[in-house]
Chain A
Amino acid sequence: MNVGLEHYLVVSAVLFALGLLGVVTRRNILVIYMSLELMLNAANLALVAFSRFNNNLDGQVMVFFIITVAAAEVAVGLALIVALYRRRQTTHVEDLNLLKH
């Protein structure tokens, strides 16, 4: 079987959708956060695939940017979640209900 662009894209889309599903359905902020990383990686996969099939390395460069930024984001995000846990003793999204309406 010849693995073409479509296959990569489908996998990427599936990853993205899984991530999205995780974000929407999971209750734990950490898990949600991991799902978000999954979505970013879906994009990475798509970029690499496009880069490969377009014969253009720009996409792969972009992936580095994304990974770097994602790392920063994770660092800040986890710190934030930890801070939240220390203040509220929870990482459940339902408990974030002070701000509404």
Chain B
Amino acid sequence: MHLQTLPWIILFLPLLAAVVITLFTQRDRKTSATLSISAIVIGFVLTVIFIKANSFNPEVKEVSLNWLDIGPLQAEFGLRLDALSLMMLLVVTGVGSAIHIYSWGYMHEDRCFSRFFASLSLFTFSMLGIVMANNFLQMFISWELVGVSSYLLIGFWYEKASAADAAKKAFITNRLGDFGFMLGILIVWAALGSLNFGKLEAGLADNPAALGSLATLGGLLVFCGAMGKSAQFPLHVWLPDAMEGPTPVSALIHAATMVAAGVYMLSRTFFIYTPEALQVIAWIGGCTALLAALVAVQQNDIKRILAYSTLSQLGYMVMAVGLAAPEAGMFHLTTHAFFKALLFLGAGSVIHAMHHEQDIWRMGGLCKKMPVTYWTFMVGTMALAGVWPLSGFFSKDAILAAAWHHSMPLFIIGVGVAALTTFYMFRLVFVAFLGGERSHEVGHAHESPWVMTWPLRILAVFSIVGGVIGVEALFGGMLHPGGEHPHGLAAQLVYPFKHAPVAALSGLAAFGIGLFAAWTLYARAKEDPLPARIGTLSRWMRDRFYFDELYEATVIKVHDATAAVVDWFDRWLIGFAAVRGSAGATSLFGNVLRFIQSGSLQAYAFLLVLGVAVILFFVLGR
């Protein structure tokens, strides 16, 4: 049984839900939510059924329809079903389901409840599209759709100026990346004559030089797309701002899906990158990881901390791909999806309880008020920090191991970031959950309803076991065939220490250092002690290294200035001088000319005679 239609159903159910909600059930909140949630839950169930039936390695790997074919442009609409996409499918629908269910509780009071679920479903559809795409163009299409649905979700509270601006910023920044992505696709297509991943891979395998001189450039351009979606330096600025959206959205975008799309795409198209391109990718990933971790240390908004943490982890993943270890990147992506979704939903639970207060310095002592949230959050934190045997340890270790093998500087950065991660996460936990109440809102806080806590519990379980359920082997088998991959629970538990002990131990050491630093600084802090200690650096970190300001001063200014200049020329040179000028000159000429008609009869007679004379001269005079 191949169940070939199942993937189609999985893909289109959310779209159907979005359409039905938009067209018919806008007013009926309950039906809307039910539709949207059941679409993704059914999707999850069907995915499980499909994997059960076909395992992660179906016989038929592709099903496709013809979407557009014009001569050499053969654009299919197809689904590629292999381990990579199926695992990703599982993650997206699984984590997505949890977030959808959670949203029911979180968004319950919002008046645009139906719209929210419609957007959420649209987003799910787009994301599934990226996951299952079997060709570049379809991936680009879903890519764009993800962009727009994230625009709709981030700007969900569009009446708030900051939300509307953040949505715009996210979309446009993504578009900058997509610009490169499109060009990359064009280069690849022009050189290899196909868009289909399978055919491209086969083509490149046949003739590795097929991309010619543009190979590195093409790869890097495709990577640009990933930079936008996965918020890699220097296109990372949109992600923290995107926190303006409702928290489930942040969870969905930052945890499992949108930002992961970039890494997923890199893994999917791993075959086109040349070593040079990979090097650039790795360094960009490393820089992002470091930079974001540093910034996260000095943020006070709970969601922003998580946002920068996401950035930092994405940096890890991208670095992994750059280090020619896409399986490690995907592994981390998967585990990260679990614990980061968990963290965001936990943060959402906190925010919900705190009546939309997001400053951690106004929280404190929440562990008693919200035990479920606290403990699940703690699990997430530990997983993120890389505590053995939680999922984060294994995936992060895989990346550190890859770095150990390939590049010492990146390894050092990686370990440093790991320490920073532990530091800022525990800073968050110490300040927000432990200690005394820092504001009276904490007094009113209480645990969230079951629709919100159950997703937390489920995600917490996955955050714990995610590292040892065979994900790594699965990705490894596909993306890194021939390499050794651990099988069996026990083997997986100890694999890191056998495979690359230095990396594993460094990771654990980093955790220790980070925890210790956080404990010393924040366990009993009333206010942040860091600014006093490191001064300027702290300010730089808090102000996100002034990247927004930098863009404001460069990219945006350049565009605005160009637009102003062009507009000026358009208005005055073309519109006024050339167009209306010539009209004006004509009319002026007419006005002058008509004074020949002086009204004087004698002048008329004279002119007539003059005319005759001129004609006589020219016709006969020569």
Residues of B within 8 A of A98 (CB): 599
Contact yes or no, B606 A96, CB < 8 A: no
Name which residue of chain B comes closest to A100, CB basis.
B599
> Which residues of A have CB within 8 Å of B600?
93-94, 96-97, 100
Mark out the residues of chain A between 56 and 101 whose CB falls within 8 Å of any chain B CB in the assembled complex: 93-94, 96-101
A87 to B605: give the CA distance in the assembly, Å.
23
Tell me whether B602 is interfacial, beta carbon within 8 Å.
yes
| Residues of chain B within 8 A of A9, CB atoms compared | none
B554 within 8 A of A: no
Question: Shortest beta-carbon distance, A62 to chain B, in Å?
Answer: 22
Interchain CB contact (< 8 A) of A20 among B594, B598, B599, B609: B609
Task: Tell whether A24 pairs with B595 under 8 Å between CB atoms, given A93-B600, A94-B600, A97-B600.
Answer: no
The bracket for how many chain A residues form the interface is: 10 to 19
From residue B599, how far is it (CB to closest CB) to chain A in Å?
3
Give the distance in Å from the alpha carbon of A24 to the alpha carbon of B602 in the complex.
6
- Name A96's contact: one of B595, B599, B609 (CB within 8 Å): B599
Count contacts between A and B, CB distance < 8 Å.
Answer: 34
Contacts of B590-617 to chain A: CB distance below 8 A: 594-595, 597-602, 605-606, 609
- Minimal beta-carbon separation of B591 from chain A (angstroms): 9
Distance between Cα atoms of A100 and B599 in the complex (Å)? 4
Which single member of A24, A93, A101 contacts B594 (CB below 8 Å)?
A: A101
Q: Which residues of B contact A52 (CB under 8 A)?
A: none
CB distance A101 to B597 under 8 Å? yes
Within A1-57, the residues touching B (CB, 8 Å) are 20, 23-25, 27, 29, 32
Q: A20-B609, A24-B606, A24-B609 are in contact. Are A93 and B597 (CB under 8 A)?
A: no
Closest to A35 in B: B605
Interface of B is mostly: helix
Residue from B595, B598, B602, B606 having most chain A Cβ neighbours under 10 A: B602
Q: How far is the CB of A88 from chain B (nearest CB, A)?
A: 13
Select B599's contact among A23, A27, A29, A101, beta carbons within 8 Å.
A101
Q: Looking at the assembled complex, report how far the CB atom of B58 sits from the nearest CB atom of chain A, in whole angstroms.
A: 89
Chain B residue with the shortest CB-CB distance to A97: B599
Most buried by A among B595, B601, B609: B601
The answer, among A24, A94, A100, A101, for a CB contact under 8 Å with B605, is: A24
Contact among B595, B601, B609 with A93 in the assembled complex (CB-CB below 8 Å):
B601
Q: A20-B609, A24-B609 are in contact. Are A100 and B602 (CB under 8 A)?
A: no
Distance of A13 from chain B, by nearest CB (Å): 13
Cross-chain pairs A/B with CB under 8 angstroms, 7 sampled: A20-B609, A29-B601, A93-B600, A96-B600, A98-B599, A99-B599, A100-B600
Inter-chain pairs besides A96-B599, A99-B599, A100-B599, 16 sampled, C-beta below 8 Å:
A23-B602, A23-B609, A24-B602, A24-B605, A24-B606, A27-B602, A32-B602, A32-B605, A93-B600, A93-B602, A94-B600, A96-B600, A97-B599, A98-B599, A100-B597, A100-B600
Q: What 10 A-B pairs have minimum CB-CB distances, sorted nearest first?
A: A100-B599, A93-B601, A97-B599, A101-B594, A24-B606, A23-B605, A93-B602, A101-B597, A24-B605, A96-B601
Name A's B-contacting residues (CB within 8 A). 20, 23-25, 27, 29, 32, 93-94, 96-101
